[in-house]
């Protein structure tokens, strides 16, 4: 950020919607940006961002999904396989601004990869949002095969953490 820049004060969604209440065109514009304000897909869940699942799309294979809210998930991928990872999530109650996906990968306790992906900004919606958060190619060769541990985190510009999870994967010579 430029020196001297001060981020504007955070406003509640209700304040934003109430501003310029007499301007119909502005109200329609806000509605198109923010969607159906007040419709919460999980009204009893206090979180503003709810991650439903991660889906791995390995080239040449059927995709597979896992729930990042459950600890200890692990998967296997064939060495040298290109892949994409997509996250499915809901936003409710408030705007999530500047969402970022951070992923750290370790092998034998040494960090071997760091990924930071800008996911975007989202208003509340009762519909699932899908966003690509990572893509790459699984390591290959004798040194690339083996067990990996990883830590994934979702944070926004306001320093809110929506997901902080550890998982593991195995890179093997062939699919099992």
Mean pLDDT rounded to a whole number for the chain? 86
With the C-alpha atoms ordered 125, 18, 15, 7, is the resulting torsion angle positive or negative?
positive
Per-residue pLDDT reduced to its tens digit, 60-91: 999 999 998 887 789 999 999 999 999 999 99
Report the predicted TM-score, pTM, of the whole model to 2 decimal places.
0.80
pLDDT for position 23: 74
Distance CA 57, CA 154 (A): 20
- Binned at pLDDT 50, 70 and 90, residue 8 comes out as low
Greater confidence, 17 or 110? 110
Place of tokens 């750290």: 104
pLDDT for position 1: 52
What is the 8-class DSSP label of residue 175? -
Q: Which two tokens stand for residue 87?
A: 């996250």
List the domain boundaries for the chain.
Answer: 6-35, 39-172
Per-residue pLDDT reduced to its tens digit, 115-128: 999 999 988 888 89
Read off the pLDDT of each residue in 93-97 and give the average, rounded to a whole number: 86
CATH number for the domain running over 39-172: 2.70.50.30
pLDDT for position 18: 66
Using a 10 angstrom Cβ sphere, with 0-12 exposed, 13-18 middle and 19 or more buried, the burial of residue 148 is buried
Per-residue pLDDT reduced to its tens digit, 30-53: 666 666 555 777 888 888 999 999
pLDDT for position 104: 96
State yes or no: pLDDT of 135 exceeds 90: yes
pLDDT for position 137: 95
Q: Which two tokens stand for residue 114?
A: 């760091």
């Amino acid at each position: 950020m430029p020196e001297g820049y001060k981020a504007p004060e955070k406003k509640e969604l209700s304040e934003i919607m109430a501003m310029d209440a007499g301007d119909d065109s502005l109200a329609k514009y806000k509605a198109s940006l923010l969607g159906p304000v007040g419709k919460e897909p999980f009204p009893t869940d206090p979180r503003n961002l709810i991650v439903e699942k991660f889906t791995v799309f390995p080239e040449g294979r059927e995709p597979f999904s896992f729930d990042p809210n459950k600890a200890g998930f692990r998967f296997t991928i064939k060495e040298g396989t290109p892949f994409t990872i997509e996250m499915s999530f809901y936003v409710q109650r408030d705007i999530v601004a500047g969402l970022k996906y951070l992923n750290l990968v370790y092998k034998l306790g040494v960090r071997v990869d760091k990924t930071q992906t800008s996911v975007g900004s989202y208003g509340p919606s009762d519909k699932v949002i899908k966003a690509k958060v990572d893509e790459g190619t699984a390591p290959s060769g004798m040194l690339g095969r083996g067990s990996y541990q990883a830590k994934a985190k979702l944070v926004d510009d306001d320093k809110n953490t929506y997901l902080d999870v550890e998982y593991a994967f195995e890179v093997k010579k062939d699919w099992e």
